[in-house]
Copies of this chain bind each other. A is one copy, B any other.
Amino acid sequence: MAANATHQFLKILSSKALNPTLSLPLTQIRKFPISQNPRNYTSVLQAAVNDNVGSSSGGRSGGLSSPPPPPVNEISERIDINPPKGTRDFPPDEMRLRTWLFQNFREVSRLFGFEEIDFPVLESEALYIRKAGEEIRDQLYSFEDRGGRRVALRPELTPSLARLVLQKGKSSPLPFKWFAIGQCWRYERMTRGRRREHYQWNMDIIGVPGVAAEAELISSMVTFFKRLGITSADVGFKVSSRKVLQEVLHSYSIPENLFGKVCITIDKLEKIPIDEIKKDLKLVGMTEEAIEELLQVLSVNSLSELEEILGSSGDAIAELKQLFSLADKFGYSDWIQFDASVVRGLAYYTGIVFEGFDRKGKLRAICGGGRYDRLMSTFGGDDVPACGFGFGDAVIMELLKEKGLVPELTPAVENIVCALDQELQGAASLVATKLREKGQSVDLVLENKPMKWVFKRAEKINAGRLILIGKNEWEKGLVRIKNLATFEQCDIELDKLE
A residues apposed to B, CB below 8 Å: 53, 63-85, 87-92, 95-96, 98-99, 110-113, 115-127, 129-131, 137, 141-151, 153, 160, 163-164, 166-168, 173, 175, 177-178, 183, 185, 187, 197, 205, 208-210, 212-213, 215-216, 219, 223, 257, 325-326, 328-331, 378-381, 411, 413, 416, 425-427, 429-430, 433, 436, 439-444, 446-447, 456-457, 460-461
Contact = CB atoms under 8 A, between A and B. Distances in A.
SS of A interface (majority): mixed
A117 B91 contact: yes
6 contacts: A53-B167, A70-B125, A72-B129, A79-B127, A83-B119, A205-B446
A65 B148 contact: yes
Contact of A116 (B75, B95, B145): B95
Given A72-B131, A126-B63, A433-B331, A89 B446 contact: no
Contact of A441 (B66, B111, B131, B439): B111
Nearest to A347: B74
A413 B163 CA distance: 26
A479 B216 CA distance: 20
A213 B430 contact: no
B116 A208 contact: no
Given A72-B131, A83-B123, A143 B141 contact: no
B111 A75 contact: no
Contact of A122 (B126, B153, B447): B153
Can you tell how many copies of this chain the complex includes?
2
Contacts of A210: 446-447
B75 A379 contact: yes
A179 B20 CA distance: 37
A278 B251 CA distance: 81
A187 B65 contact: no
Contacts of A160: 83, 89
A430 B74 CA distance: 65
Nearest to A434: B331
B89 A118 contact: yes
B216 A444 contact: yes
Contact of A378 (B74, B81, B89, B187): B74
A288 to B, nearest CB: 28
Nearest to A71: B129
A208 B453 CA distance: 14
Contact of A164 (B89, B447, B456): B89
Given A53-B167, A89-B167, A446 B328 contact: no
